[in-house]
Amino acid sequence: MLQRGGSLAVGTRVSIQNKIGPVPVRWNAEHTIFDPPSHFQDIQLSGPFSKWVHDHLFDAIDDRHSKLTDRVDFRSKFPGPLDWLTAGFIRSKVESMFRYRHQTTEQDLKLYNSLQGLRGGSKEGSTIAVTGATGMIGRRLCALASVLGFRVIRVQRTASKSTQSTSELPLESVVFDAKHGFDNPKILDGIDAVIHLAGFGIATRRWSADTKELIRSSRVEGTRHLVEHLLRLENPPRALVAASGVGLYGDCDDAVCNEDHKAGTGFLPELAQQWESETFRYANKGRRAVVGRLGMVLHPLEGALSKMLPLFQFGLGGIVGSGKQYWSWIHVDDAASAFLHLAINPESTGPYNLVAPESLTNRDFTKTLGSVLKRPTILPAPKAPIRLLIGEMADPLLFASTRALPKRLLAEGFAFRAPTLREALNQLLGVA
């Protein structure tokens, strides 16, 4: 999303950048009809079609149910015979897009009902603040929470306030820095939770001593300063829910890593322990402190999956190293949903594995991805060249075996949208 309007009002414009294969395509649209609660329409101003008119129709079935219909009138830009030859491909892409949208809407509604249950059916809305709101999980979490009726406050660094991207939702914001704290502390007084996702990316660049210190300080010291300033508020938020990683467990071979499994050794496990220790200081003042230990977060345009897809789509994918190491993963929507569950559930406290119930070896992960894409997976990626290419991070991120399972989330009744990798990839990649 390059630009998002603040409403569905007539004249509001939206700009999206997507890809057709490796080619980036910009899509500009404008809302032309707004007739709540039954109808709104948008049309393409410029983009991949010569014509695109999209009507969103809502019909009441009864007091508790409604029917959503998408009606689209579109034409390709291809002339004559090319239009006929490409019609099937274009239609399949449009259908996969709407399949994704309808599945996501259905799952969002199920999550809403689950959160309402945790709130005891209260009609009063919840308020959360989010750090790292422009990251992969943060963007989805803010959008999801807004759709579900949360009041969402974006916690920003000072440097980013004046350069706020037009792609972000029109949310309230508060500026935070380690020295001065919050520029408007009252906005956070007594809110339900702060969800803390900020931190320099683990795999953003090759690990040098300076990079590892930047990763450490952004997480450990960043969390320490956040906790200190939150606890100085007159009425601190009821809960702090912070991200961590299953890298805490280190290389566990075939052992199952539930939340009570001991921590490993090395840079990532030690980083995670320090990071979580700073989060749990929040509980010392009688507030709720929760940690979500993330596995590999799957998103088709960002993160690890986005880097794998081009190779696999060209039939160049294969097992990494021995292929016997376990990879724990989670669909990006499940990650966002789990953070909301932990923020709202008054019984959630301590560490949680934010991973899918199905933890696969790299060999099985590879076979499943190849099967979904209908591509061979016969070209292995040996350890030596990968270590040469990306350095020290190769072993903990790619070759370590971490068979983490979401024991505590499942015990609390959390319903995964994508409990298996095939379901996750089918939904993320728009496969029937």
20: Cα within 13 Å, side-chain hemisphere: 11
Would you call 90 helix, strand, or coil by DSSP?
helix
Residue 376 in contact with residue 298, Cβ under 8 Å?
no
Residue 406: closest CA among 352, 369, 368, 361: 352
Omega into 37 within 30° of 0, i.e. cis?
yes
pLDDT score of 4: 65
Q: How far, in Å, CA of 29 to CA of 414, rounded?
A: 37
Tokens read off for 329: 């993963």
Domain locations in the chain as residue ranges = 13-77, 117-306+330-358+412-421
pLDDT score of 165: 46
pLDDT score of 206: 94
pLDDT score of 223: 97
pLDDT score of 432: 64
Predicted TM-score (pTM) of the model is 0.90
DSSP per-residue codes, 200-265: --TTSS---HHHHHHHHIIIIIHHHHHHHHHHTSSS--SEEEEEEEGGGG---TT-EE-TTSPP--
Crossing angle of helices 209-216 and 267-280, rounded to 10°: 20
- Other CB atoms within 10 A of residue 374 CB: 9
pLDDT score of 90: 82
* Burial 11-33, CB ≥16 within 10 A → b, else e: ebebbeeeeeeeeeeebebebee
Q: How far, in Å, CA of 362 to CA of 324, rounded?
A: 6
Residue 116 in contact with residue 340, Cβ under 8 Å?
no
pLDDT 10s digit of each residue in the chain, 432 long? 555 666 788 999 988 877 665 567 788 999 999 999 999 999 999 988 889 999 999 999 998 788 889 999 988 888 778 777 778 888 888 888 888 888 888 899 999 999 999 987 676 789 999 999 999 999 999 999 999 999 999 999 875 544 444 445 668 999 999 989 999 999 999 999 999 999 999 999 999 999 999 999 999 999 999 999 999 999 999 999 999 999 999 999 999 999 999 999 999 999 999 999 999 999 988 899 999 999 999 999 899 999 999 999 999 999 999 999 999 999 999 999 999 999 999 999 999 999 999 999 999 999 999 999 999 999 999 999 999 999 999 999 999 999 999 999 999 999 999 999 999 999 998 786
Helix (H), strand (E) at residue 86: helix 80-118
- Would you give the DSSP letter of residue 381? B
pLDDT score of 163: 41
Would you call 138 helix, strand, or coil by DSSP?
helix
Residue 267 in contact with residue 222, Cβ under 8 Å?
no
pLDDT score of 21: 57
Q: How far, in Å, CA of 302 to CA of 297, rounded?
A: 9
pLDDT score of 3: 57
Q: How far, in Å, CA of 353 to CA of 294, rounded?
A: 6
Tokens read off for 114: 């689950």
Superfamily the domain 117-306+330-358+412-421 falls into: NAD(P)-binding Rossmann-like Domain (3.40.50.720)
pLDDT score of 19: 64
Q: How far, in Å, CA of 11 to CA of 34, rounded?
A: 10
pLDDT score of 1: 52
Tokens 């830009």 label which residue?
A: 77
